[in-house]
Amino acid sequence: MSELHTPQRPLILGSTSRYRRELVERLHTPFTCVAPDVDEAPIPGEAPGALALRLALAKAHAVAALHPEAIVIGSDQVSDLNGQPMGKPGTHKRAVEMLRAMRGQTVMFHTAVAVVCKATGFVQSDVAVIRTMFRSDLSDDAIERYLRAEQPYDCAGSAKSEGLGISLLDAIHSDDPTALIGLPMIRTCRMVRAAGIELP
């Protein structure tokens, strides 16, 4: 008698980020992307890590409400300069301002991930903290060349380490190497497995 195989629940990435999509593609597991409808404005006085975690959970819950049978991944990243959250620059001018402010500084990146399944009541979340050290000899010309080449205006803090942005840094310290790109995959895999999807 053949063993009955229970099909896995659908996997959804609650994000429109191409960086996160490319990371989840590494799992060789079918998934879809759904844009979460979430207000990403920080609450006054909210710490960067708390902001990232709140938004990751909000995104996962928002998509899970529309797809209750699915296992949903939500994520958010907030860069942190001296306790102040720095979002995505959006414009060239704002990106220049951010990178000048980060020159010679230690900048923390808080990358939160949440996995939710409404049908089973599954909820797990965690935050990876990445400590980066930006070069003190980073010139205005180097900043300009980097921004023109990469145009990282959709990246927290304008720092795109998986590309030319690695040249802006002296060091990166993290226990989850993909967290700086936008999704801590070690944590994500652990939660997705716990939610019921077999990996690999």
Which one of the listed residues 76, 80, 126, 176 is annotated catalytic? 76
d(CA 25, CA 45): 36
How confident is the prediction along the chain (200 residues), in pLDDT tens digits per residue? 444 556 789 999 999 999 999 999 999 999 999 999 999 999 999 999 999 999 999 999 999 999 999 999 999 999 999 988 888 899 999 999 999 999 999 999 999 999 999 999 999 999 999 999 999 999 999 999 999 999 999 888 888 888 899 999 999 999 999 999 999 999 999 999 999 999 98
- 37 catalytic residue (yes or no): no
Which amino acid, one-letter code, is at 98? M
Vertex 199 angle, CA 58 and 8, to 5°: 70
Place of tokens 């190497």: 177
Interacting residues of 62 by C-beta distance below 8 A, sequence separation 6+? 14, 36, 37, 38, 74
- In this structure, how many other beta carbons lie within 10 angstroms of the beta carbon of residue 128? 25
Rounded to two decimals, what is the model's pTM? 0.91
The length of the chain in residues reads: 200
Please name the residues in contact with 141: beta carbons below 8 A apart, sequence gap of 6 or more: none
Helix (H), strand (E) at residue 86: strand 84-86
Alpha-carbon gap, residue 116 to 127, rounded angstroms: 15
Closest CA to 100 of 137, 140, 131, 133: 140
* pLDDT of res. 143: 96
**C-alpha span between 69 and 49 (Å, rounded):** 29
Residues 20 and 13: their CA atoms lie apart, in Å, by 8
- pLDDT for 1: 42
Q: How many CB atoms lie within 10 A of CB 181?
A: 21
Q: Residue 165: count other Cβ atoms within 10 Å of its Cβ.
A: 21
Q: Within 10 Å of residue 92's Cβ, how many Cβ atoms?
A: 14
The pLDDT score that the predictor gives to residue 85 is 87
* Tokens representing residue 21 in the block: 């999509």
Separation of alpha carbons 118 and 54, rounded Å: 17
CATH architecture of 11-195: Alpha-Beta Complex (3.90)
pLDDT of residue 4: 52
